[in-house]
Amino acid sequence: MSAPELIVMNGVPCAGKSTISRTYKAAETEIKVRHLPMGERLRGIASGQIASRYATELVDDNTNLKNHTQVHNPNLPIYVFEEFINQEPADVVILDGFPRYPDRLDGFKQSIKDIGSNLLAICEVSIPEAAVLIRNGTREDRYKDVEENEAFIQKRLAEYKAGPAVVMEALALDYPYYHMDGMQPIETNVESLKEIFLAHSDRAQMP
């Protein structure tokens, strides 16, 4: 099984990166696309909703994951990423919210080298902070024991600036970087993803 090509998708809370990724996956008919929302997958494994060989290790992190804080073993997200890649063949995997922390970049780069994947590009989705608060206020809380109020979102915004934003800046030194405006229609950003694939994919160049 050949390793899939990768696109890293990151952005501030409520920017729409997961919606863009899911819509692209559903719209693409010429290639097999898989979507890995890392935070959602880790929470699913920790709660027992997703089967994984790392379930036992993640159970103790269930509360941390709901609060969007780090798991106790910094290598676990990388292991879960590799497990996901090996579960099912794909042409492209969109990594949604991963990698997240600067101290894990070296491990991530080594991992993609080990599995033989080509990282096509990194895409950062942004919206104004005021829009983050508005969008968060119009959706239901996702975790029954975590109040996703303004203080919670402000905390997540600060964490994004200290973590994923730094990661994206570092990755931009080595890989093509694209900015996406999360205020644009979803279809506009999905078309951008299609163009990114065509511009950088070895598969797209095959006859």
**202 found inside a domain:** no
Please give the residue range of the domain that contains residue 28. 5-197
DSSP letter, residue 169:
H
**204 found inside a domain:** no
pLDDT score of 155? 86
Whether the bond between 128 and the residue before it is cis, its omega within 30 degrees of 0, is no
**139, pLDDT greater than 80:** no
Tell me: the pLDDT tens digits for 75-119?
899 999 999 999 999 999 999 999 999 988 999 999 999 999 999
Residue 148: both structure tokens together: 């996703």
**60, pLDDT greater than 80:** no
d(CA 192, CA 207): 22
Spatial neighbors of 56 by CB under 8 A, at least 6 apart, are none
- List, in sequence order, every beta strand (DSSP E) within the chain: 5-11, 33-37, 92-96, 119-126, 177-181
**184 found inside a domain:** yes
d(CA 3, CA 86): 9
**207 found inside a domain:** no
Is the model more confident about 60 or about 158? 158
Confidence band for 69, pLDDT divided at 50, 70 and 90: low
The domain that holds 170 is classified in CATH as: 3.40.50.300
**203 found inside a domain:** no
**117 found inside a domain:** yes
**27, pLDDT greater than 90:** yes
**67 found inside a domain:** yes
Of 105, 61, 94, nearest to 180 (Cα)?
A: 94
pLDDT score of 125? 97
d(CA 90, CA 73): 28
**173 found inside a domain:** yes
- DSSP letter string over 45-75? HHTTSS--TTHHHHHTTHHHHHTT---SSTT
The count of domains in the chain is: 1
pLDDT score of 71? 76
pLDDT score of 204? 72
